Amino acid sequence: MAIATAMLEANGLRFAVDTAGQGDTVALLLHGFPEARQSWHRQIPFLAELGWRVAAPDLRGYGGTSRPAGKAAYSIEHLTDDVAALFAALGGKRNILIGHDWGGVIAWQVALRGKVKLDGLVILNAPHPDAFARELRRGWTQRRRSWYFAFFQLPWLPEWLLTRNGGAPLVKMFRSHSEHILREQIEIYRRNIVQPGAATAMLNYYRANFSGLAGGAGSNPMIAVPTLMIWGKNDLALDLRLTEGNEQFVEDFTLRTLPAASHWVQQDAPDEVNATIAEWARRKGLA
């Protein structure tokens, strides 16, 4: 099934969105850092074949989407409002939210804040905030892996390191983490991050939300939405223990770990990710 690209107005911004499929069930796919909507290109046609209308936007500040200025524009409040506005613009009767990495962080918060009536939630390699807080308290394992959170708070140096030599460090990072991400996708990510202001916009996700990424742990409500977590076990940034105990936070929780996949799970193991989502969706009456 062919993928079409459109511009969608939502929450005062213009979003570049890749779409496929028809139907009353909208699946909104949120990418991570430092990727783009194209990270879902192996999922979009497959999920459309399930009968869903699939939409994968560039998040605010990324790719072809509006890039508001200032750190405050990237607070989690604005990011979750974007999701609510995108679902409203897409107008589905049932809403399924799928997020990886930062897209997963946003997806957890959408579910916790109740800004959208969700019928299904799929999280790929992104921890529930209470699980993240727990592992940070437990010891140095996750703290060491999260060193870059603090590094990204520095002015200008992270931007310089990510964009020097035309974005060569970004290319090296992806290639060192995974052999399976397509070169044409990495080229899109490289080209995006060297656009004027793009690296700062991407880093502002960390800067605007640094103190709140694991804040309020233990005070979050139980999530009632059926939730599937897919986790690439070879994740260099996130410890596998983050997948443990999520039944405390989600009433209807399903976990699937993929032993050979890295953090970039939907690109590393697209067939396994697709099959897992399809099987879960059928069990939950969503496909």
Q: Tell me if residue 100 is catalytic.
A: no
Cα angle 19-82-61, degrees, rounded to a multiple of 5: 80
- DSSP line for 166-205: HHHHHHHHHHHH-S-S-HHHHHHHHHHHTSTTHHHHHHHH
- The question of whether 235 is a catalytic residue gets the answer no
Beta strands in 33-173 (DSSP E): 53-57, 94-100, 120-124
**Strand bridging mode 253-262 / 94-100:** unpaired
**Which residue of the set 41, 100, 128, 263 is catalytic?**
263
Residue 253 DSSP SS3: strand
User: From the CB of residue 37, how many other CB atoms can be counted at a distance below 10 Å?
Assistant: 27
Residues 6 or more apart in contact with residue 18 via CB below 8 angstroms: 3, 4, 5, 37, 38, 40, 41, 44, 55, 56, 57
> Is 101 one of the catalytic residues?
yes
Give the amino acid at 7.
M
Q: Looking at 101, 130, 235, 239, which residue is catalytic?
A: 101
Q: Which of 119, 128, 206, 268 is catalytic?
A: 206
Active site residue ranges: 101, 206, 263
